[in-house]
Amino acid sequence: MISSALPIHDYALLDDAECEARIVAAKAKLGKRCIVLGHHYQRDEVFKHADIFGDSLKLSREAAQSEAEYIVFCGVHFMAEVADILSRPEQIAILPDMAAGCSMADMANKIKVQQCWDELAQILDVESTVTPVTYINSAADLKAFCGQHGGIVCTSSNAEKILNWSFAKREKVLFFPDQHLGRNTGYRMGIPLEQMVTWDFNKPMGGLSEQQIRDAKIILWKGYCSVHQAFQPEQIDNFKQKHPETIVISHPEACFEVCQKSDYIGSTEMILKIVREAAANTRWLVATELNLVNRLNQEFSDQGKHVHFMAPTLSMCSTMFRTDPQHLAWVLENLAAGHVVNQVSVPAEQVVLAKKALDNMLLAS
DSSP structure class, residue 343: B
Per-residue model confidence (pLDDT) at position 314: 66
Domain ends where: 173, 197, 226? 226
Q: Is the pLDDT of residue 365 over 60?
A: yes
Encode pLDDT of 136-151 as tens digits. Answer: 999 999 999 999 999 9
Question: Do residue 112 and residue 218 come from a single domain?
Answer: yes
Segment among 101-105, 283-287, 327-331 with least mean pLDDT: 101-105
Binding residue per annotation — 135?
Answer: yes
Domain ends where: 177, 196, 226? 226
Q: Does a structural domain hold residue 76?
A: yes
Question: Do residue 188 and residue 214 come from a single domain?
Answer: yes
Domain ends where: 209, 226, 243? 226
Question: Do residue 196 and residue 133 come from a single domain?
Answer: yes
Please, what is the end-to-end C-alpha distance for the chain in angstroms?
51
Q: What are phi and psi of 220, to 5 degrees?
A: -95, 130
Binding residue per annotation — 225?
Answer: yes
Region 29-58 average pLDDT: 94
Across the chain, what does the average pLDDT equal? Answer: 95
Q: Does a structural domain hold residue 351?
A: no
Q: Does a structural domain hold residue 316?
A: no
pTM reported for the whole predicted model = 0.93
Query: How far is residue 362 CA from its own chain's centroid?
Result: 16
Binding residue per annotation — 252?
Answer: yes
Per-residue model confidence (pLDDT) at position 340: 97
Per-residue model confidence (pLDDT) at position 320: 78
Q: Between helices 325-336 and 16-30, what is the axis angle to 10°?
A: 30
Question: Do residue 247 and residue 136 come from a single domain?
Answer: no
Q: Does a structural domain hold residue 363?
A: no
Q: Does a structural domain hold residue 2?
A: no
Q: Is the pLDDT of residue 230 over 50?
A: yes
Question: Do residue 95 and residue 114 come from a single domain?
Answer: no
Region 201-213 average pLDDT: 97
Q: Does a structural domain hold residue 359?
A: no
Per-residue model confidence (pLDDT) at position 2: 46
Question: Do residue 142 and residue 193 come from a single domain?
Answer: yes
Binding residue per annotation — 192?
Answer: no
Question: Do residue 222 and residue 126 come from a single domain?
Answer: yes
pLDDT band at 316 (very low <50, low <70, confident <90, very high): low
Q: Are 223 and 177 in contact (CB under 8 A)?
A: yes
Q: Which of 361, 365, 364 lies closest to 85, judged by CA?
A: 361
Alpha-carbon distance of 145 to 110, in angstroms, equals 8
Alpha-carbon distance of 270 to 288, in angstroms, equals 12
Q: Are 139 and 96 in contact (CB under 8 A)?
A: no
State whether the Cα torsion 328-332-337-339 is positive or negative: positive
Region 196-208 average pLDDT: 97
Per-residue model confidence (pLDDT) at position 312: 85
Query: How far is residue 262 CA from its own chain's centroid?
Result: 21
Q: Which of 182, 155, 145 lies closest to 167, judged by CA?
A: 182
Question: Do residue 46 and residue 136 come from a single domain?
Answer: no
Region 177-192 average pLDDT: 98
Question: Do residue 163 and residue 145 come from a single domain?
Answer: yes
Binding residue per annotation — 268?
Answer: yes
Per-residue model confidence (pLDDT) at position 318: 73
For residues 310-341, b (16+ Cβ closer than 10 Å) or e, as one string?
Answer: bbeeebbbebbbbbbbbbbbbbbbbbbeeeeb
Which structural domain, as residue segments, surrounds residue 253?
232-309
Q: Is the pLDDT of residue 348 over 80?
A: yes
pLDDT band at 317 (very low <50, low <70, confident <90, very high): confident
pLDDT band at 315 (very low <50, low <70, confident <90, very high): low
Question: Do residue 221 and residue 239 come from a single domain?
Answer: no
Per-residue model confidence (pLDDT) at position 3: 59
Binding residue per annotation — 156?
Answer: yes
Region 331-336 average pLDDT: 97
Q: Which of 323, 343, 340, 271 lies closest to 300, judged by CA?
A: 271
For the chain, give the percent of residues with pLDDT over 90: 90
Q: Does a structural domain hold residue 352?
A: no
Encode pLDDT of 54-106 as tens digits. Answer: 888 999 999 999 999 999 999 999 999 999 999 999 999 999 999 999 999 99
Q: Is the pLDDT of residue 1 over 50?
A: no
Alpha-carbon distance of 42 to 45, in angstroms, equals 8
Domain with residue 197: its CATH number is 3.40.50
Binding residue per annotation — 154?
Answer: no
Domain with residue 328: its CATH number is 3.40.50.10800
Region 184-206 average pLDDT: 98
Binding residue per annotation — 347?
Answer: no
What's the number of domains the chain is made of?
A: 3
- The DSSP string of 271-335 is HHHHHHHSPTT-EEEEES-HHHHHHHHHHTGGGT-EEEESSSS----TTGGG--HHHHHHHHHHH
Q: Are 31 and 69 in contact (CB under 8 A)?
A: no
Question: Do residue 152 and residue 90 come from a single domain?
Answer: no
Question: Do residue 163 and residue 54 come from a single domain?
Answer: no
SS3 content of the chain, % helix, strand, coil (to 5): 50, 15, 35
Q: Does a structural domain hold residue 356?
A: no
Alpha-carbon distance of 319 to 302, in angstroms, equals 32
Binding residue per annotation — 259?
Answer: no
Burial class (CB in 10 A: 0-12, 13-18, 19+), 6: middle
